């Protein structure tokens, strides 16, 4: 059975959407999306960055993220056809570990705890396919990498892109 490695943040969960909604609600201003190449923080005024970081590291932030449209249904179908592992470089955000586990249990009850890998670096991950929004996680991957398109990686080249969960279904199902 072929193995698919799938990232959580910005692939399964709308992390940036949740953070930007919180930021706009908290400060009443729009971030500068045009400056966010590679990092949200580049679009946030300097005087707000520390508060934004604290929110990102806070308990519960990763627990209440919206699920990307179509993700649940496609993941359920993938799980029947492939060996699926959810791999998240989560240890940078210690509070996210429990949050991510509970989020997956709520939204993806068909996945087991054995299919979740919370790590700091994805270089040791092996599989046939990987879907991730960060090139740094794909560059060392030995299987077929797919870059999940986000605002932060819009200028990256050299990878087949996936724009949404319907495209995941079109490719793998």
Q: Which residues are catalytic?
A: 7, 9
Long-range contacts made by residues 99-105, C-beta under 8 angstroms, separation at least 24?
A: 99/59, 99/60, 99/61, 99/62, 99/63, 100/8, 100/62, 100/63, 102/63, 103/13, 103/62, 103/63, 103/64, 103/65, 104/8
Residue carrying structure tokens 């939204």: 107
Are the beta carbons of 6 and 100 closer than 8 angstroms? no
Are the beta carbons of 159 and 147 closer than 8 angstroms? yes
In sequence order, what are the beta bridge partners of 148?
162
């Amino acid at each position: 059975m072929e193995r698919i490695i799938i990232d959580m943040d910005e692939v399964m969960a709308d992390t940036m959407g949740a953070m930007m909604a919180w930021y706009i609600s908290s400060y009443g201003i729009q971030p500068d999306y045009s400056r966010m190449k590679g990092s949200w923080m580049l679009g946030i005024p300097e005087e707000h960055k520390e508060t934004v970081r604290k929110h990102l590291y806070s308990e519960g932030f990763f627990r209440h993220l919206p699920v990307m449209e179509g993700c649940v249904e496609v993941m359920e179908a993938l799980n029947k056809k492939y060996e699926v592992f959810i791999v998240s470089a989560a240890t940078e955000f210690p509070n996210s570990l429990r949050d991510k586990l509970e989020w997956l249990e709520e939204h993806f009850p068909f996945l087991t705890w054995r299919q979740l890998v919370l790590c700091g670096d994805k270089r040791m991950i092996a599989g046939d396919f990987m879907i991730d929004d960060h090139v740094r996680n794909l560059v060392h991957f030995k299987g077929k990498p797919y870059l999940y398109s986000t605002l932060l990686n819009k200028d990256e080249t050299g990878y087949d892109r996936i724009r949404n969960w319907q495209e995941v279904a079109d490719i793998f199902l």
